Chains A and B, each alone.
Chain A
Amino acid sequence: MQKSTSNKARVGFFVIIGTLVFVAALYFIGNRQHIFSKNIQVYAVFRNVNGLQMGNNVRYSGINVGTVGKIEMVDEATIVVQMMVEEKTGSFIKKDAIATIGSDGLVGSMVVNILPGKENLSAITSGDTIPTYSKIGADDMLSTLNVTNENAALLTADLLKITNKILQGEGALGALITDSSLTKDIRATLVNLKQTTEGTNRLVGSLNRKFSKIDMENSAAGVLLKDSIVGDKIKQMVANLEQSSVVISETTQQLGSIISEIDTTENTFNYLMKNENLPKTIDSTMLEIKEASKKLNENMEALKHNFLFRGYFRKQERLERKNKERD
């Protein structure tokens, strides 16, 4: 009899411990999902939620303040996302706070980031809808950059051919003297090159802006960039791109001045006779362009191999191959 009573107590103890562990686990998990705290509902309207799911976290200034309650498609371009935000922190979110969808780390799930508003408006209340902001995907930007780069490569190849011809000696030089269309060609090419370089510059600038924004927004790429190694690499690559395009731009300017000099001299031949150094100058300039372009290519290549953008480039390649096959 005695024995079974103590057994009873031991089983009771065991059951209570087990149940406590279970309940504690449920409580802690539930707490993280803001089930037990008082919530207010805030809405945001998106065109694309990028795989956001019910139960994903909602962050305000980087703190988890709630979860995604419901995702509802109202019409083909409007998706309403309901967020359950803790009442406590809700009072810090102003009415002009901006909701964006980002991803939590490299392989993490999606999160809704609420960026603090700028003006001193009143705090949100339950049922409010806050404005949203959709970022231009890194993909779109890179595709433009890629096209630009390809153009630059083509142009540089053209220029190289031309300089080669010049370097080939008398005959070619003669042609240069007699044929003014060649000069025109060069000029046209240079104009193109200039445009390309400007395009590159613009893109690089926008990339830079993008990365600084990413930092602020603490999204997937943001996390990646914060990660010192990856971030440094990408930053360096962008810097390289910038440098390359600066070099291209500089040399283009040099070429431009040479050509305008040729233009101002009435007789091209005279000018050439007077100026023995010209072919050499053109030659070295071309080499510089070649090198810069090569660097640009290398940088692009490096960017391609960076895992962040790898998927995109592969897609691009596949598309190209398909196009070729179709042709």
Chain B
Amino acid sequence: MDATNSITVRTKRFFEEIGDMTYFAFRFFREVFTTPFEWKELIRQCYQMGNRSFLLVGVTGFILGLVFTLQSRPTLMEFGAESWMPSMVSISIVREIGPVIIALICAGRIGSGIGAELGSMKVTEQIDAMEVSGTNPFKYLVVTRILATTLMLPLLIIMGDAVALFGSAIVENLKGEVSYMLYFNKVFDALKFSDVVPATVKSFFFGFAIGLVGCYKGYNCSKGTVGVGEASNAAVVYSSMLLFVIDFIAVFLTDIFF
């Protein structure tokens, strides 16, 4: 009896949370189009999330390309299809692996950062302080952060993809003696708009999801310092999950329309 009760309670809480987050997203859209707009804070957040994440994304992307190529080489060689390496690597990185891995890394770095920052601002009443000093904290804190992640993540993903392909090209150049020119020639031969465009559109949604979940969890944080930890943890977990859901939907739609 107790178990079923707790299951129903949990289910209810789950739906409540989804509903709450949807409302939160609606509020974002309502407030993003009303004045005043916090440009300075947006730029600060873009700097924090974009420039400051680039090193991490770059290193990850580079290693990703390197490892991916090294791992697939033996299999492709078995089929005598090494010349397919650039096309295979570029398509899989641009379409799927690049966006998802980089988004996951950003969910870890940016999402948890937002969750912890807003969470601690909430519990130390800084958000309330903003509210009473005549600044809309939702606009100042949430709108800018969600916009920053939404705008910066696609850029990070594009650059990460480029770095990953470069890493792959290095392996091919050293091991397969393929010139960089030929490698990128083949890459651009293999890639189509239908690979790049859906992946980019998808990455905007990834960014939005990371920002939204991070802000939601932080902004609704309670229970003091414990709550801050929970908020930042939940921000990462939920946004990573949401990333895969979005990815699934995106792939599904891409499949239908392209």
* Direct A–B contact present (CB less than 8 angstroms): yes
| Chain A residues near B (Cβ < 8 Å) | 4, 7-8, 10-11, 14-15, 17-19, 21-22, 25-26, 28-33, 55, 105-107, 227, 229
Closest 9 CB pairs of A and B: A18-B155, A28-B188, A7-B47, A11-B46, A11-B47, A22-B158, A14-B50, A14-B51, A29-B191
Given A18-B158, A21-B162, A29-B196, verify A4-B44 contact (CB < 8 Å): yes
Say whether B189 faces chain A, with CB atoms less than 8 Å apart: yes
Given A7-B44, A7-B47, A32-B189, verify A14-B155 contact (CB < 8 Å): yes
Chain B residues, CB < 8 A from A26 = 193, 196
Say whether B134 faces chain A, with CB atoms less than 8 Å apart: no
Excluding A10-B51, A29-B191, 4 further A-B contacts by CB distance (< 8 Å) are: A18-B155, A25-B196, A26-B193, A32-B189
Query: Is A29 in contact with B44, judged by CB distance below 8 angstroms?
Result: no
Query: Is B155 in contact with A29, judged by CB distance below 8 angstroms?
Result: no
Chain B residues, CB < 8 A from A30 = 193
Query: Is B43 in contact with A11, judged by CB distance below 8 angstroms?
Result: yes
Q: How far is the CB of A88 from chain B (nearest CB, A)?
A: 19
A154 to B155, CA, bound (A): 70
Q: How far is the CB of A36 from chain B (nearest CB, A)?
A: 12
Query: Is B40 in contact with A18, judged by CB distance below 8 angstroms?
Result: no
Given A18-B158, A18-B159, A29-B188, verify A11-B51 contact (CB < 8 Å): yes
Please give the number of chain B residues whose Cβ is less than 8 angstroms from any Cβ of chain A in the complex. 27
Query: Is A15 in contact with B50, judged by CB distance below 8 angstroms?
Result: yes
Given A7-B44, A11-B43, A15-B50, verify A21-B159 contact (CB < 8 Å): yes
Q: How far is the CB of B39 from chain A (nearest CB, A)?
A: 9
Chain B residues, CB < 8 A from A55 = 192
Say whether B54 faces chain A, with CB atoms less than 8 Å apart: yes
Query: Is B191 in contact with A19, judged by CB distance below 8 angstroms?
Result: no
Chain B residues, CB < 8 A from A32 = 188-189
Chain A residues, CB < 8 A from B151 = 15
Chain B window 196-220, contacts with chain A (Cβ cutoff 8 Å), 1 for yes, 0 for no: 1000100000000000000000000
Say whether B81 faces chain A, with CB atoms less than 8 Å apart: yes
A28 to B184, CA, bound (A): 10
A11 to B200, CA, bound (A): 20
Query: Is A22 in contact with B200, judged by CB distance below 8 angstroms?
Result: yes
Which residue of chain B has the shortest Cβ distance to A1 in the bound complex?
A: B40
Q: How far is the CB of B175 from chain A (nearest CB, A)?
A: 20
Chain A residues, CB < 8 A from B184 = 28
Chain A residues, CB < 8 A from B46 = 11, 14-15
Query: Is A15 in contact with B191, judged by CB distance below 8 angstroms?
Result: no
A18 to B191, CA, bound (A): 18
Query: Is A33 in contact with B81, judged by CB distance below 8 angstroms?
Result: no
Q: How far is the CB of A7 from chain B (nearest CB, A)?
A: 4
Contact of A17 among B43, B154, B159, B193 (CB under 8 A): B159
Query: Is B158 in contact with A21, judged by CB distance below 8 angstroms?
Result: yes
Q: How far is the CB of B77 from chain A (nearest CB, A)?
A: 13
Chain B residues, CB < 8 A from A14 = 46-47, 50-51, 54, 152, 155
A163 to B50, CA, bound (A): 88
A105 to B189, CA, bound (A): 14
Query: Is A4 in contact with B155, judged by CB distance below 8 angstroms?
Result: no
Q: Can you list 9 pairs linking A and B with CB atoms under 8 Å apart?
A: A7-B47, A14-B152, A18-B154, A26-B193, A28-B184, A29-B193, A31-B188, A32-B188, A55-B192
Q: How far is the CB of B233 from chain A (nearest CB, A)?
A: 29
Contact of A4 among B40, B51, B54, B158 (CB under 8 A): B40
A19 to B156, CA, bound (A): 10
Chain B window 40-64, contacts with chain A (Cβ cutoff 8 Å), 1 for yes, 0 for no: 1001101100110010000000000
Query: Is B155 in contact with A19, judged by CB distance below 8 angstroms?
Result: yes
A268 to B125, CA, bound (A): 122
Which residue of chain A has the shortest Cβ distance to B157 in the bound complex?
A: A18
Chain A residues, CB < 8 A from B192 = 29, 33, 55
Chain B residues, CB < 8 A from A11 = 43, 46-47, 50-51
Chain B residues, CB < 8 A from A19 = 155
Q: How far is the CB of B159 from chain A (nearest CB, A)?
A: 6
Which residue of chain A has the shortest Cβ distance to B79 in the bound complex?
A: A106
A11 to B51, CA, bound (A): 7
A124 to B46, CA, bound (A): 54
Query: Is A10 in contact with B188, judged by CB distance below 8 angstroms?
Result: no
Q: How far is the CB of A229 from chain B (nearest CB, A)?
A: 7
Query: Is B43 in contact with A25, judged by CB distance below 8 angstroms?
Result: no
A230 to B1, CA, bound (A): 69
Q: How far is the CB of A62 from chain B (nearest CB, A)?
A: 14
Q: How far is the CB of A84 from chain B (nearest CB, A)?
A: 15
Which residue of chain A has the shortest Cβ distance to B53 in the bound complex?
A: A14
Docked complex: B137-191 residues within 8 A CB-CB of A: 151-152, 154-156, 158-159, 162, 184, 188-189, 191
A28 to B187, CA, bound (A): 10
Q: How far is the CB of B42 from chain A (nearest CB, A)?
A: 9
Most chain B beta carbons < 10 A, residue from A19, A29, A33: A29
Chain B window 71-103, contacts with chain A (Cβ cutoff 8 Å), 1 for yes, 0 for no: 000000000110010000000000000000000
Query: Is B51 in contact with A25, judged by CB distance below 8 angstroms?
Result: no
